[in-house]
Amino acid sequence: MQIVLNEQKLQQAIGAALHELSGRALQGVPDTGAFTALSTRFAGGALVEGVGDVELRVAPLSGDKGKLERFFEVRVSTPSGGSHSSTWVFYGKTAALKEVLKNEAPLKGKIRAAIVAEAESLQRNELA
Q: How far apart are CA 15 and CA 34, in angstroms?
A: 27
User: Looking at residue 77, what is its pLDDT?
Assistant: 95
- What digits encode the pLDDT tens for the residues 68-102? 789 999 999 999 988 999 999 999 999 999 999 99
- What digits encode the pLDDT tens for the residues 116-125? 999 998 888 7
1: pLDDT strictly greater than 90: no
Structural domain boundaries in the chain:
7-124
Closest by CA to 70, choosing from 36, 113, 104, is 36
- What digits encode the pLDDT tens for the residues 21-58? 999 999 999 988 888 999 999 999 999 998 999 999 99
